[in-house]
Chain A
Amino acid sequence: EIVLTQSPGTLSLSPGERAILSCRASQSVSSNYFAWYQQKPGQAPRLLIYGASSRATGIPDRFSGSGSGTDFTLSISRLEPEDFAVYYCQQYGSSPPVTFGGGTKVEIK
C-alpha cells in the first residue's frame, strides 16, 4: 500500500500570501493518477487538481499542482478568504487500494 504523507499539518497564513503544500509518497506514483482536494466543514471533498497538474473544471488559476514520482506540491498563489480549508492528496494509480494523505489545514493567521 502506498502511504501519502502531507506536510505541514497546519499552515497559518494571511489572505494574499502564497501557500505551498507538500505530499510525499512511500513509493513512486503515476502522475496520471494523483489528485488534490479541498474540503470545508460539512462538505464533501472538492477536486482541485488531477493528473498531478491539471485543474478541474471551475478551479481558479491561483491553484496549481506539480511534481512526479514520490514528491508532489499544491501551490495557492494568493490566498483568498474562501481558500482556508483542509487539503488532501490522493493516489489511485496502483489501486487497490486507493490512498489519501492525512491532510493539511490552511488556517488564517
Chain B
Amino acid sequence: EVQLVESGGGLVQPGGSLRLSCAASGFPFSRDWLHWVRQAPGKGPVWVSRITHDHRIHYADSVKGRFTVSRDNAKNTLYLQMNSLRAEDTAVYYCTREYYEIWDWGQGTLVTVSS
C-alpha cells in the first residue's frame, strides 16, 4: 500500500522558514516523480513543485526563488524547504507521487504564516 506522510508544518512568522518532509513507503521511491501541492483554506489545490526520478526540478512562479524541493532516495523522503514565507503561503501542503497517470496523495500538513 502506498503511504505518504507529511510532517514539519506549523505556525511561522512572515519572513520565516520551514522545512517540510514527506516519508514514503509502499512503492519504489527512486523511480517515481514527486510533487508538492498546496491548498489554502476554502480554495482549490495549487501545484507548487515537482522533482523527477532523475532530479529535474520545476516550481510554480509564486514560489520560485523561495522554495527548494529535494529528495533523498536512500531515506525514501521528499523535502520542501520554504524560505521568506508570506501570509499567502498559508495552506495545507500535500506530498503526491505520480506514477504514469496515477497520483497518490498524503494527508497533508498545515502551514500557517502569521504574526
User: Real complex partners, A and B?
Assistant: yes
Contact with B along A15-59 (1 / 0, CB 8 A): 000000000000000001101010000011111001100101000
A32 touches B58 (CB 8 A): no
Q: Mark B89-115, 1 if CB is under 8 A from A, else 0.
A: 000001000100111111110000000
Nearest to A95 among chain B residues (CB) is B50
- Which residue of B50, B103, B106 contacts A96 across the interface (Cβ within 8 Å)? B50
Q: Which of A37, A50, A99 contacts B102 (CB 8 A)?
A: A50
Residue count of chain B within 8 Å CB distance of chain A:
21
A36 to chain B, nearest CB (A): 11
CA of A101 to CA of B43 in the docked complex: distance in angstroms? 10
8 Å CB contact of A97 from B44, B47, B94, B105: B47
Neighbouring A residues of B58 by C-beta, 8 Å: 95-97
Task: Determine whether the beta carbon of B101 is less than 8 Å from that of A98.
Answer: no
**Number of A residues with CB within 8 Å of any CB on chain B:** 25
Query: Would you call B98 and A92 a contact (CB within 8 A)?
Result: yes
Most chain A CB inside 10 Å of its own CB: which residue of B37, B44, B105, B108: B44
Contact A47-B45, Cβ < 8 Å, known A95-B50, A96-B50: no
Q: Pick from A43, A51, A54, A97 the residue with the most CB of B within 10 Å.
A: A97
Write the nearest CB–CB distance from A40 to chain B, whole angstroms: 12
A-B pairs with beta carbons under 8 Å apart, 9 shown: A44-B94, A44-B107, A90-B45, A92-B98, A96-B47, A96-B59, A98-B35, A98-B50, A100-B44
Query: Could you list which residues of chain B lie within 8 angstroms of chain A, going by C-beta atoms?
Result: 35, 37, 44-47, 50, 58-61, 94, 98, 101-108
Q: Which residues of A contact B (CB under 8 A)?
A: 32-33, 35, 37, 43-47, 50-51, 54, 56, 88, 90, 92, 95-103
